[in-house]
Amino acid sequence: AKNALKQIAVSTTQEGSGLCAQVVSVLVEAATACGWTHLFLYTKPDWEDLFRFMGFATKDILMTENREN
């Protein structure tokens, strides 16, 4: 989907530096400039608080796959 942000990552050496927030901010601005105002972001539960801080709301969703790894 064109309005989905996914596979966003920074090096573990950059965690806590604000780099992820900067990247997401630029992507949100670019999407907004294209007229996409309803965005989805897929992330691991461990990062929920970070993205909630950036304005993304958690929705009840279940993701399944056919293998563990």
Contact 15, 48 (CB under 8 A): no
Q: What's the angle, vertex CA 58, arms to CA 67 and CA 12, rounded to 5?
A: 65
Q: Is the pLDDT of residue 6 over 90?
A: no
What token pair was written down for 19?
A: 């780099």
Quick check: pTM over 0.85?
no
State the pLDDT at residue 64. 83
Span 16-69, pLDDT tens digits: 899 999 999 999 999 999 999 899 998 888 888 999 999 999 888 877 888 876
State the pLDDT at residue 46. 87
> Could you tell me the end-to-end alpha-carbon distance of the chain, in angstroms, rounded to an integer?
24
